[in-house]
Structure formats: structure tokens, C-alpha cells
Structure 1
């Protein structure tokens, strides 16, 4: 199992929900954090909380729908000289629920793809080559199990694109100690999931983070966080490493 103490992790969407839970958990393991949100004020609370756990932390901001802001955020991180060892691409948007799905506005697709896919691809393409060069890296892309819901066509299509991108890219990481995984938090009671969701957001731990700790150089796994709910981290890693890591298993 990977020891993340002293390593640096970037968490997008860290101010609330799954990103917030991930930040607290990783800080508890001694991991230094870069906390992303749309505005720095949004991460002020979690920044204080993780700093109290004894790790180094700083915050960055970017509207992920704006490619120039994403690039500027990545430039800022590089400018600080931070070696990003782990990335949790957690932030996402679920635009609307369209009962008249035949008339889904094109803006639903454009906004969903910018935030849920293009920003993630931009982050991966910036940091994964650096990870390969340093000989270590973990990237966890958050997907969704949503299916058969044309009412959420923009969101679902953007997550399908993310799945394909992740699986294809994973096939190029064989022989490296850079592991690229997909994770699905399940339907959780968050601002995105809503109050009627089946699972409390705390149930994503440790499953949402287990991809940072696997240590077998196998990329392309799909890790459903709810399958690890209530486990110790050690047990979760052991289970994850039994799961097949092959493309196109979703």
C-alpha cells in the first residue's frame, strides 16, 4: 500500500461533498493538499481543518468551464514548484433534469463537457507526463453510474466521454508506477445528488480514495466507492488490487 505522507494531492471541487470528504481523509493520512474551488473563499473552511491535521496546504481557484482559467490554475501550481503526485478529479456539474429530453439545449452538452470532461483531460495531460518522468503518480477520475436517463443527457454523455478517455489513456501506462483509475461515489446526499439520494456522503470513504493507495502498477480499474464503505483503508486496498484492471469493463 502506498504511503502518501508528504506527497502532494490536487483535489478539484474540494469545498464540499465528496471533495471535502476526500480532503479530510487524505490529510488524515499525512498527504499535503492543493484544494480547488471556483473561489478561494469556498475552501477557507476546509483549508483550516486540514492544516490543523498537520499537513501543508494551499488553495487554487478556477471556473472549470473556462479553459483559460484551468490552464492558469495549472500554471500557478507549476509556478510554485509543487510536485503533484496524486490528482482527484472530483468536481462536476449536473446541469438540469429535462423531462422534454428531445429538446435538450445544446448548452447542456457544452457546459457538461467543459466541466466534466475537458477540464479533466486538461489536468491529466498536464500532470501525468510529469508523474511518469518522476516515476510515481496516481490519478482518480470521478465518473457516474448513471444510465438510461436521457433526462440528464448532457451529464451522462460527458461522463461517458470521461470513461472512454480514462480507459484509453490507462492502456499507455503499463510498466510505469503511474496508476489511472475511475471511481464512482454512488448516489450520495450532496448538493449534486440531492436530499433523496440513497447514501450519506461519508460513505464514500475509503472507496473514493482507494485508487491513490493501490500499489500494483495496474491502470484502468473501475472502483465503486460504495463497495468499500465501512472498510479499513488496508482492507479496501487489498480488495481493490483483486479487481481486474482492463479497458472497457464498465
Structure 2
């Protein structure tokens, strides 16, 4: 199991919901944090709470739907000289629920892809090569189990693109100490999931973060967070490492 004490993790969407839970969980393991939100003020609480747990932390801001802001955020991290060892790409948007799904506006797809996929590709494209150079890295991209719901086709399609992107990159990293994984938090009561969701945000821990701790040089796994609820971190890592990555087949 990876010891994350003293390492640096970038967590997107860290000010609330699953991202907030993941940030404090990583801080409790001794991991230093770069906390992303759309506005620095939104991250003030989680930044303070992380520091109270004894780790270093600072906030960055970017509207992930605007590539220039994503670039500026990455530039700031680079200027600070922070070696990003772990990325938890948690932030996402569900634009709308379209009952007239044949008439889903193109704007839904554009916004969903910019935030849920393109921003993550930009983050990985900038930071993963540096992980490869340093010989260590963990990236966990948050996907979704939504299927057969054309009412949410823009959201689901953007997550499907993320799945394919992650799997394809994983094929080039398997056997290295840079590991890419996917996680699905489940349907949780967050701003995105809504108040009627069956699962509490806390139930996604440690599953949404377990990919940061696996230590067997195998990329491309999918971790359904709800299958890890109630496990200790050690138990969760052992379970995670017992799972096989499912490769694409022709």
C-alpha cells in the first residue's frame, strides 16, 4: 500500500460533496493538498480543516468549462513548484434532465464535455508526463454508472469519453509506477446527485480514493466506491488490488 504522507494530491471539486470527503480523507492519511474549486472562497473551509489535520494545503480556482482557466490553474501549480503525485479528478456537472431527450440541446453536450472530459484531459496531459519522469503517480478519474437514461445523455456521453480516454492511457502505463484508475461514487446525496439519492457522500470513502493507494503497477481498473463502504483503508486496498482491469476487446 502506498504511503501518501508528504506527497501532494490535486483534488478537483474539493469544496463540497464527494471531493470534500476525499480531501479530508487524504489529509487524514498525511497527504498534502491542492484544493480546486470554481472560486477560492469556496475552498476556504476545506483548506482550513485540512491544515488542522497537520498537512500543507492551498487552494486554486478554475471554471473547468473554460480551457483558459484550466491552463491558468495548471500554470499556477507549476509556478509554485508543487510535484503533483496524485490526482483525484472529482469535479463534474450534470447539466439537465431532458425528458424530451431527442431534443437535447447541443449546448448540453458542449458544456458536459468541456467540464467532465476535456478539463480532465488537459490536467492529465500536463501532469501525467511529469509523474512518468519522476517515476511515481496515481490518477483516479471519477466516472458514472448511469446507463439507459437518454434523459441524461450529455452527462453520460461525457463520462463514456472519460472512460475510453482513461483506459487507452492506462494501456501505455501498465507495469509502471504511474497508475490510472476509474471510480464511480454511486448515487450520493450531493448537489449533483440530488436530495433523493440513496447514499450519503461519506459512503463513497474510501472507494473514491482507493486508487491512490494501490501499489501493484496495474492501470485501468474500475472501482465502484459503494463496494468499499465500511472497509478500513488496508482492507480496501487489498480488495482493490484483487480486482482485474477489464481490457477492451475487439
Aligned to 1:52: 52
Tell me by how many angstroms 1:248 deviates.
Answer: 3.4
In 1, the alpha carbon distance for the partners of 2:221 and 2:230 equals 20
The answer as to whether partners of 1:183 and 1:208 remain within 8 angstroms in 2 is: yes
Equivalences for residues 150-169 of structure 1 within 5 A: 150-169=150-169
Distance in 2 separating the partners of 1:154 and 1:161: 11
Tell me, in whole angstroms, the C-alpha distance in 2 between the residues paired with 1:247 and 1:192: 29
Q: How many aligned positions are there?
A: 249
Establish whether residue 27 from structure 1 lines up as the match of residue 58 from structure 2. Answer: no
Matched residue SS, 2:172: coil
State the Cα distance separating 1:78 from its structure 2 match. 0.5
Contact 1:168 1:247 in 2 (8 A): no
Cα deviation, residue 102, structure 1: 0.7
Q: TM-score of the superposition, structure 1-length normalised?
A: 0.99
- Which segments of 5 or more consecutive residues in structure 2 lack a partner in the other structure? none
Q: Deviations 1:36-63 (Å, cap 9, x if unpaired)?
A: 0000000001111000000000000000
- Where 2:33 maps in the other structure, the secondary structure is strand
Other structure's SS at 2:167 match: helix
Measure the CA separation in 1 of the matches of 2:232 and 2:127: 29
Find the aligned partners of 1:248 and 1:137 in 2 and give their Cα distance: 23
Distance in 2, Cα, partners of 1:39 & 1:210: 27
Superposed CA offset, 1:158-179 (max 9, x none): 0000000000000000231000
| Counterpart for residue 114 of structure 1 | 114
Give 2:237's aligned residue. Answer: 237
CA RMSD of aligned residues (A): 0.8
1:216-231 equivalences under 5 Å are 216-231=216-231
